[in-house]
């Protein structure tokens, strides 16, 4: 088996046993990036020199008896997460050339765990998108079919993990931006409980919804990265000051007696028949493993899309007001300050402009209570649905997306059609729970299908173990895309 085909946990075992060095693994991964990423375009910045220095340091530390959780493991980071001395663009021309003088909390955690950082992955501009087509720089392709999208906004991270261009990666999830690309690319993606992973140093989109999350090829890989990066951060006012359990230890694979809720609102017209069949087969498999399947209802699910597209743009409108070309980022000069700010903000892409306008309208005088205020009230109802559901069940199982990956350009002129790609993931972000996507099959075109497992607040252990149990009873995670196979 090639080094790049190892899972993170297999690589970590090899590093600990001394059969592999971090320099060897990093060189193999960098060589594969050179060979393959021209077709995938998952990276915006490749930090090859820094990665090799970190790998050499990891090998030296290991030789001295040190063993941190990710010592010597090459990881990718979404380009919306600040990295000291490395460009962080958020996929936008308005941040082109911005080099942070500090690391985000999760990057600090990666470095403390001994990880090797390979580079920064592509993203929809300011994480606003479901396909990674909204990046100002390149469009990332799906490794399973390069004519199709990898999902978004963390499409670069998902594609890098799927194409074996990183052993794991960090992304962010505001409305499904970890889980949906994980589904499209056939990898595992976790959206932890809001506040479980610090947002300090992450470029803000919608502050009450944004959450950092890990990608891995397997549930164990995803868990290892989550374990290393979760934790309390006093610099983030929304960070949860709670202990981080040993998540890797909970992957027992025993789900006997686990109550799995199946909400009827998630199996609707418009879902592709092959997606529904694969997800229902996965739920049946969990029943075979000893879980109890319970039909439940989340009655306010149908309001999640309009509520999200009032709250998220409103918060984006406030957050992106700081980009004026005066404090940081590029500046386009004009005849006066107002003209200069206008010209600078013309660097925003069309989707970002659309959401800023939606959000500004929703917050404007005379419309605040009618739109934003009402959306907040319905958000409470959506959250209450989950509160009631978790009185009956331990976790919830649904499709991650109603379709498999669509072709690049197919929804470029159809914003609503694009937004509907996240119809099954939005509700979780509006609540206070956690969720993940993992592979549960393929459609007739060979495209991955994702199963979404949702847990209550701070119940990541339950969904990770359930996902691990299902994964170990199937072989979906063992299949690799043919892109760059030679």
Q: Hey, which residues are catalytic here? A: 78, 153, 177
What does the alpha-carbon distance between residue 51 and residue 77 come to, in Å, rounded to a whole number?
12
Q: Give the Cα separation of 286 and 471 in Å (integer).
A: 10
What region does 434 belong to: left with phi over 0, alpha with psi -120 to 50, or beta?
beta
Q: How far apart are CA 330 and CA 194, in angstroms?
A: 32
Chain center to CA of 125? 14
Give 304's contacts (C-beta < 8 A, 6+ positions apart). 382, 423, 426, 427, 430
Q: Residue 352: is it exposed, middle or buried by C-beta count within 10 angstroms (0-12/13-18/19+)? A: buried
Question: Which CA distances in Å does 180 have to 155, 234, 405, 424?
Answer: 9, 30, 9, 9
Q: Which residues partner with 397 through β-bridges?
A: 453
Convert 225-244 to b/e letters by CB count within 10 Å (16 or more is b): bbbbbbbebeebeebbeeeb
**Structure tokens that stand for 474 in this block:** 């199937």
State whether residue 74 is helix, strand or coil: strand
Task: Write the CB contacts of 272 (distance below 8 Å, at least 6 apart in sequence).
Answer: 402, 403, 404, 443
Is residue 346 within 8 A of residue 332, CB to CB? The reply is yes
For residue 34, the tally of other CB atoms under 10 A from its CB is 11
Cα(100)–Cα(119) distance, rounded to whole angstroms?
A: 14
Q: Could you please report the per-residue DSSP string of 130-173?
A: SSS---SS----BTTBTTB---SSSHHHHHHHHTTS-SEEEEE-
Q: 410 and 404 in contact (C-beta within 8 Å)?
A: no
Helix (H, G, I), strand (E, B) or coil at 343: helix
Q: Which helix (H) or strand (E) holds 108?
A: helix 105-112
Whole-angstrom Cα distance, residue 77 to residue 210?
16
Measured in whole angstroms, the distance separating CA 107 from the mean position of its chain's CA atoms is 15
Beta carbons within 10 angstroms of residue 297's beta carbon: 14
């Amino acid at each position: 088996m090639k080094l790049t085909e190892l899972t993170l946990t297999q690589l970590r075992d090899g590093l600990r046993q001394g059969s592999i060095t971090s320099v060897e693994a990093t060189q193999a991964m960098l060589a594969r990036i050179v060979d393959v990423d021209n077709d995938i375009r998952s990276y915006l910045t490749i930090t090859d020199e820094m990665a090799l220095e970190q790998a050499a340091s990891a090998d030296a530390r290991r030789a001295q008896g040190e063993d941190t959780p990710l010592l010597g493991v090459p990881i990718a980071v979404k380009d919306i997460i600040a990295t000291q001395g490395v460009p962080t663009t958020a996929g936008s021309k308005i941040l082109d050339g911005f080099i942070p003088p500090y690391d985000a909390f999760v990057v600090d955690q990666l470095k403390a765990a001994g990880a090797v950082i390979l580079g920064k992955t592509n993203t929809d501009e300011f994480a606003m998108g479901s396909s990674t087509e909204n990046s100002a720089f390149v469009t990332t392709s799906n490794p399973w079919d390069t004519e199709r999208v990898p999902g978004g906004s963390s499409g670069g991270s998902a594609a890098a993990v799927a194409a074996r261009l990183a052993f794991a990666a960090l992304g962010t999830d505001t409305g499904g931006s970890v889980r949906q690309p994980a589904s499209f690319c056939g990898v595992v993606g976790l959206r932890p409980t809001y506040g479980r992973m610090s947002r300090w140093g992450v470029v803000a989109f919608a502050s009450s919804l944004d959450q950092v999350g890990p990608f891995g090829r397997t549930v164990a890989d995803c868990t290892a990265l989550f374990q290393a990066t979760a934790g309390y951060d006093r610099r983030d006012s929304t960070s949860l000051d709670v202990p981080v359990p040993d998540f890797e230890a909970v992957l027992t694979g025993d789900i006997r007696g686990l109550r799995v809720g199946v909400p009827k609102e998630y199996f609707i017209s418009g879902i592709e028949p092959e997606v529904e069949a694969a997800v229902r087969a996965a739920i049946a498999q969990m029943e075979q493993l000893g879980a109890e399947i319970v039909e439940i209802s989340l009655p306010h699910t149908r309001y999640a899309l309009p509520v999200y597209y009032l709250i998220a743009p409103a918060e984006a409108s406030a957050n992106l007001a700081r980009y004026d070309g005066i404090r940081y980022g590029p500046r386009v000069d004009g005849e006066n300050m107002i003209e200069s700010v206008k010209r600078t903000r013309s660097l925003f892409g069309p989707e970002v402009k659309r959401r800023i306008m939606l959000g500004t309208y929703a917050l404007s005088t005379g419309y605040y209570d009618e739109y934003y205020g009402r959306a907040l009230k319905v958000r409470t109802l959506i959250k209450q649905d989950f509160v009631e559901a978790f009185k009956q069940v331990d976790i919830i199982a649904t499709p991650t997306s109603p379709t498999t990956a669509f072709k690049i350009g197919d929804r470029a002129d159809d914003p609503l059609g694009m937004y509907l790609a996240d119809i099954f993931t939005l509700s979780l972000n509006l609540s206070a729970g956690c969720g993940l996507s993992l592979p549960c099959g393929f459609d007739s075109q060979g495209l991955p299908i994702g199963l979404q497992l949702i847990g209550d607040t701070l119940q990541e252990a339950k969904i990770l173990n359930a996902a691990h149990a299902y994964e170990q009873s199937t072989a979906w995670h063992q299949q690799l895309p043919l892109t760059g196979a030679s």
